[in-house]
């Protein structure tokens, strides 16, 4: 933009020569929806979008709810190749800015104080229900996924509610006591404002740890984990996988020896997306168009 010509713009420099055909891109639609205790929550809705394919006649698309990390961060409408992967495969996506997310004022941001594992989960569940009530998605084919703190929210949503039929946790927290014991120094006191100080609030930490509520789990879960992760160490996913196996719940546990917290290797990112797609295809009973090696779901 130019001060002398504010109505026009020119490209100074492009970060990439990659060209994207807009007809394959699903635009973000901001939504506001009712959540628990009269609260209004925020999210972005992405409808399925792929001009080369059509879903079954008369069928509503499956839904994938995305829970961002942080947890005191936020999501935005910036281009997200992961979201577009799902919408191009026939999924609707809801990217949730649950209570505690930044960008909506201090009162909204403070909703997560002492309420991690409650408010974030309520808002993800409410988003799924609201989108289904609008007739946009199939309520019998809803899944949730997230990474890090979003992985924790995912596991809580599956352990404490029965709205979703599958879930994917990327380097997510299953045991909050393990988190405060093992995480790196920079985030060692992060949970004080989210849950209360430990060990003074030990019972709260245990009550909100999905690892202690596997009896209420009933749907398949896939776990992704980098073995070099210093923030959420591999013992979190290992403990969750062992708990799922002991309860007879179908699961998959995918590890990457060269990954830390947040996958960086392009091959690993691609593999994890296709593995998650294969997982949902088996759980929901559809045939994906992508050529891939089916992920093995362990059925104890």
List the chain domain ranges.
24-284
What whole-number distance in Å separates Cα of residue 82 and Cα of residue 176? 27
Q: Work out the angle at residue 110's Cα, subtended by the Cα atoms of residues 209 and 82, and round it to the nearest 5 degrees.
A: 65
73 within 8 A of 66, measured Cβ to Cβ: no
Q: What is the DSSP pairing of strand 92-97 with strand 166-170?
A: unpaired
* Burial group, residue 81, by CB count within 10 angstroms (0-12, 13-18, 19+): exposed
pLDDT along the chain (300 residues), means of 10: 61 76 93 96 98 90 96 92 97 97 95 95 98 98 97 97 98 91 65 84 93 93 96 94 96 97 94 98 94 93
The DSSP symbol for 298 reads B
At residue 183, the pLDDT reads 65
- pLDDT, residue 188, reads 57
Helix (H) or strand (E) holding 42, with range, is strand 40-46
Question: What's the pLDDT score for residue 3?
Answer: 58
Give the Cα separation of 143 and 158 in Å (integer): 9
pTM of the model: 0.91
Q: Do the beta carbons of residue 141 and residue 62 sit within 8 Å?
A: yes
Domain 24-284 CATH class label: alpha beta
Rg of the chain taking only CA atoms, in angstroms = 20
Residue 147: other Cβ atoms inside 10 A: 24
Task: Give the C-alpha separation, 115 to 197, whole Å.
Answer: 13
What does DSSP assign to residue 201? T
Q: What is the pLDDT of residues 238-271, one digit of tens each?
A: 999 999 999 999 999 999 999 999 899 999 999 9
Q: Which two tokens stand for residue 97?
A: 């800015």
Q: In what order do the strands lie in the sheet with 221-226?
A: 29-34, 40-46, 92-97, 63-67, 142-147, 166-170, 221-226, 251-256
């Amino acid at each position: 933009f130019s001060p002398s010509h504010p109505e026009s713009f020119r490209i100074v420099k492009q970060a990439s020569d990659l060209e994207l055909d807009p007809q394959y891109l699903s635009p973000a639609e901001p939504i506001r929806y009712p959540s628990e205790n009269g609260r209004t929550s925020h999210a972005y809705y992405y409808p399925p979008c792929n001009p080369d394919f059509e879903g079954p006649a008369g069928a509503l698309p499956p839904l994938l709810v995305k829970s961002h990390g942080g947890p005191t961060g936020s999501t935005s409408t910036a281009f997200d190749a992961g979201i577009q992967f799902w919408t191009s495969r026939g999924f609707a996506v809801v990217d949730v800015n649950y209570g505690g997310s930044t960008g909506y004022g201090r009162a909204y941001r403070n909703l997560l104080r002492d309420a991690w594992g409650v408010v974030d989960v309520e808002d993800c569940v409410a988003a799924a229900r609201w989108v289904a009530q609008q007739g946009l998605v199939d309520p019998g084919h809803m899944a949730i996924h997230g990474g890090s703190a979003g992985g924790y929210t995912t596991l809580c949503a599956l352990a404490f509610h029965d709205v979703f039929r599958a879930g994917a946790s990327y380097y997510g927290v299953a045991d909050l006591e393990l988190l405060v014991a093992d995480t790196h120094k920079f985030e060692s006191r992060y949970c004080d404002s989210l849950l209360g100080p430990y060990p003074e609030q030990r019972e709260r930490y245990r009550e909100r740890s999905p690892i202690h509520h596997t009896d209420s789990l009933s749907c398949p879960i896939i776990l992704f984990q980098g073995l070099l992760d210093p923030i959420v160490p591999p013992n979190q996913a290992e403990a969750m996988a062992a708990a799922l196996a002991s309860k007879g719940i179908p699961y998959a546990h995918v590890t990457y020896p060269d990954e830390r917290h947040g996958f960086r290797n392009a091959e690993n990112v691609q593999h994890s997306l296709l593995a998650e797609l294969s997982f949902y295809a088996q759980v929901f009973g559809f045939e994906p168009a992508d050529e891939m090696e089916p992920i093995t779901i362990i059925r104890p």
